[in-house]
Structure 1
Amino acid sequence: MKIQPLGDRLVVKVAEVAAEKTKSGLYVPDTAKEKPQEGEVLAVGPGAFNDKGERMPMDVAVGDKIIFSKYGGTEIKIDGEEYLVMSQRDILAKIN
């Protein structure tokens, strides 16, 4: 990856959503689906500083699967691929 997040930020590849088919056989277009809230961590910043000037370690690592807030992160595009850059506080949980 060509991007290194700063502070308590991380880069996430959002999970792909498979084409959804209704019981009647209709396919739901991507624009009608909810935005996925799961992804894989691809890059992690060094962590934020606390009030004493000490760097706080990140709670996630590269390769972790996470669930993040619905409107968390900033969408970016690198080499035609879409990613999210988000703060650690936008992470709701890790998936084991």
Structure 2
Amino acid sequence: MAKRLLPLMNRVLVEKIVPQSKTNSGILLPERTAKLNSGKVVSVGPGYHNKEGKLIPVNLKEGDTVLLPEYGGTEVKLGEKEYHLYRDDDILGTLHD
């Protein structure tokens, strides 16, 4: 049975995107070419309540590709997969094609 983590408050569960280490033709790429620290949003919390009690929802949704800070987040392992848990205001932005 696979576990599913539903983040609380304004937390976002992200699966980091691992860049390719090899091209389609088999050429190995150096690590420094893969500097972009990005991930795919797996799950989001409902948001947090401000001082007046109003719910402030998270700005992200499942499936968004996001730019992550170099440091931070909490590593979470569910089964064989590794994820990272961030506050929504720690995420730097969304990436679009």
The letter for the 1-side match of 2:88 is Q
User: What RMSD over aligned residues (CA atoms) do the two structures have, in Å?
Assistant: 2.4
Unaligned runs of 5+ in 1: none
What TM-score comes out, normalization by structure 2 length? 0.79
* Matched residue, 1:3: 5
Q: Going by fraction, where is strand more abundant, 1 or 2?
A: 1
**1:37 is aligned to 2:37:** yes
Unaligned runs of 5+ in 2: none
Q: Which of these residues, 9, 15, 18, is aligned with residue 17 of structure 2?
A: 15
Residues 44, 61 of structure 1: 8 Å contact kept:
yes
Runs of 4+ in 1 over 4 A off after TM superposition: 25-28, 32-36
Find the residue that maps to 2:12 and give its secondary structure: strand
* Matched residue, 1:91: 91
Percentage identity across paired residues of the two chains? 31
